[in-house]
């Protein structure tokens, strides 16, 4: 899989864990055609704010055949896209 340059996700598609500062989403709950990319822009339609997350790593199973999820970081937060 070759990542695209940037995808955009609306913040309402994400779950928020205040204790860990982490947004999460299952890939199946994101818009059709979403593909993990090197950068993800999270957009808040209510406030007009946005955060840019940069890819940091992929979690695989022990055989490295199946992807569990993709990790991203911004200045203050973490984003985990779970491959369900």
Q: Could you read off the pLDDT of 15-62 as tens digits, one per residue?
A: 999 999 999 999 999 988 888 888 999 999 999 999 999 999 999 999
Return the pLDDT at 2.
38
Return the pLDDT at 68.
95
Return the pLDDT at 4.
53
Rounded to an integer, the average pLDDT of 5-16 is: 91
pTM to 2 decimal places: 0.87
Domains of the chain, residue spans? 6-82
Helix, strand or coil for residue 28?
Answer: helix
Rounded to an integer, the average pLDDT of 2-25 is: 88
């Amino acid at each position: 899989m070759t990542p695209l340059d940037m995808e955009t996700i609306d913040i309402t598609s994400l779950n928020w864990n205040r204790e860990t500062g982490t947004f999460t989403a299952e890939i199946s709950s994101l818009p059709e055609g979403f593909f993990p990319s090197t950068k993800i822009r999270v957009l808040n339609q209510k406030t007009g704010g946005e955060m840019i997350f940069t890819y940091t790593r992929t979690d695989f199973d022990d055989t490295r055949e199946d992807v569990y999820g993709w990790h991203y970081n911004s200045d203050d937060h973490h984003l985990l896209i779970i491959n369900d």
